[in-house]
Amino acid sequence: MKFINKTSEAFLAGLFEGDGFLGSTQLKLRLSDEDVVSWVADLLETKLAVTTFIDQKYRSLYETSLGRQGELTTLYVRLYPWFGKRRQSQLEESFRRSETPLPTVQSKMNLASLPQPTEMPPFYLPSLEEWAYFSGYFIAEGSIAFDQRSAQTPYSRPSLHISSTDQDVIAYSAKLLSTPYIKAARQTKTGKDVFIINVTNFEKLHFILENILPFILISARHTQKVQRAFEEMQTRIDWRTSGGLQQTKQMVRAKELKAFKPAVKFEDRSIDWEELALIFQSQPFVFLVNVPSKAGVVKTPRLRIQSHDLELVEKVSKIFQKKVYPVKQNVKSKEILYSTQTERKKSVFFILRNVLPFLSGDAAMKAQEALDLLTRSP
């Protein structure tokens, strides 16, 4: 067995935690990734074996094993602190059989001191050895998925996923990644709970992949996935920087507005749009308000009619599908000023789109300006 430094030791621990066989007389690793198993075989100075299948849908499996007892015991002692409770119990059985004293180094995975399901761990900056450990565990148990959620975006959304029935190992990984984990609703066929980490935040994902990439270069398959994730995230940054997100929001907004129909099923012929246009021509009907949004404060158009003519205001209120309310009363004449207004963007767009062909002059300009603002608003 070649010299194994601290980072290689941690990497092996993560890899064997996920996919190793830890027997009392033999350690085995069996994967479909030839390059990973070859790297381990070279480090342990063991042979590489391959199992092929007649059915082509099954990938070949590569295996290496260490059975030299002195080296095996030494390696087990070094890896012991990195393992979770299940793997440590396997090694303890091996130590008893070989009459090797149990290591006195404490386990890194005391569940009582690790985050619980859904708990957000505090920010933690892993050491080089801890990144090596997680990298090995990721190769064994992790995956990167790509989700094309929308046809409007030119990138697929990458996410890192890792799951296990070993809560202490998942909790420790959650600590290293400063991210929460959950207990799945499902159980395994044998009734064990399943614990899951799923990282979707782009900034956090980029940070994680940057730190594990140097260690997973031994796996062409995993390296390719990580590099693709970087490319997709860069495409997202470029797209947002060039205004792609805003343009997409405007496009979706315009599509929704144009397809909108009021909840109350008015037939277009039941509304006299020309009559409404005459009312709009005679007095102010559009006003703008400042509304806070993620993009900052934006101006949003609303429709309002005010008049002493209650019958006229009630007629407009039926189109607005809003109530009529008194604004103020003239002290001398005792006349009451009535008002009705609508604020919902889709309703405002629907009304303006239908009344615009019958407007002219300044009223038509105001209506068109409002329609443009609505289609551009986030």
Indicate whether 264 pLDDT > 60: no
Q: Report the interhelical angle of 6-19 vs 69-79 (nearest 10°).
A: 90
The larger pLDDT score, comparing residue 360 to residue 104, is at 360
Confidence of residue 247 (pLDDT cuts 50, 70, 90): low
CA dihedral for 105, 107, 110, 115, sign (positive or negative)? positive
Identify whether the C-beta of residue 76 lies closer than 8 Å to the C-beta of residue 94: yes
Phi, psi dihedral angles at 22 (to 5 degrees): -110, 85
pLDDT at 64: 96
Phi, psi dihedral angles at 221 (to 5 degrees): -65, -45
Mean pLDDT over each residue of the chain, to the nearest integer = 87
Q: How many CA atoms lie within 13 A of 275 on its CB side?
A: 9
Structure confidence by residue, pLDDT tens digits, 171-223: 999 999 999 999 999 899 999 999 999 999 989 999 999 999 999 999 999 99
Q: Which two tokens stand for residue 337?
A: 């000023």
Share of the chain above pLDDT 90, in %: 54
For 143, the 3-state DSSP assignment is: strand
Residue 317 to residues 78, 276, 312, 341, Cα–Cα distance (Å): 79, 11, 9, 7
Confidence of residue 269 (pLDDT cuts 50, 70, 90): very low
Confidence of residue 103 (pLDDT cuts 50, 70, 90): confident
49-51: strand order across its sheet:
20-22, 27-31, 61-66, 49-51
Indicate whether 30 pLDDT > 80: yes
CA dihedral for 41, 42, 47, 49, sign (positive or negative)? positive
pLDDT at 267: 47
Confidence of residue 333 (pLDDT cuts 50, 70, 90): confident
Structure confidence by residue, pLDDT tens digits, 38-72: 999 999 999 999 998 877 778 899 999 999 999 99
Structure confidence by residue, pLDDT tens digits, 114-152: 999 999 999 999 999 999 999 999 999 999 999 876 666
Q: Name residue 284's amino acid.
A: P
**Which residue, among 59, 214, 93, 212, has the nearest Cα to 144 in the 3D structure?**
212
Residue 94 to residues 73, 74, 86, 100, 108, Cα–Cα distance (Å): 8, 12, 13, 8, 20
Residue 332 to residues 256, 307, 310, Cα–Cα distance (Å): 48, 17, 19
Indicate whether 251 pLDDT > 70: no
The larger pLDDT score, comparing residue 9 to residue 372, is at 9
Structure confidence by residue, pLDDT tens digits, 275-292: 898 999 988 998 888 877
pLDDT at 6: 95
326 - beta bridge partners?
A: 338
**Cβ contacts of 267 within 8 Å, gap of 6 or more:** none
Identify whether the C-beta of residue 357 lies closer than 8 Å to the C-beta of residue 309: no
Indicate whether 259 pLDDT > 80: no
| Domains with residue ranges and CATH for the chain | 1-103 (3.10.28.10), 109-242 (3.10.28.10), 254-376 (3.10.28.10)
pTM of this prediction?
Answer: 0.67
d(CA 14, CA 178): 18
d(CA 376, CA 293): 13
Q: Name residue 326's amino acid.
A: P
Longest CA span, the chain: 108
Mean pLDDT over residues 241-250, rounded?
A: 58
Q: Which two tokens stand for residue 194?
A: 């399943």
* H-helix segments, the chain: 6-19, 34-44, 69-79, 85-98, 128-141, 167-177, 202-216, 220-241, 244-259, 273-282, 310-320, 345-355, 361-376
> How many helices and strands in the chain, by DSSP H and E?
13, 12
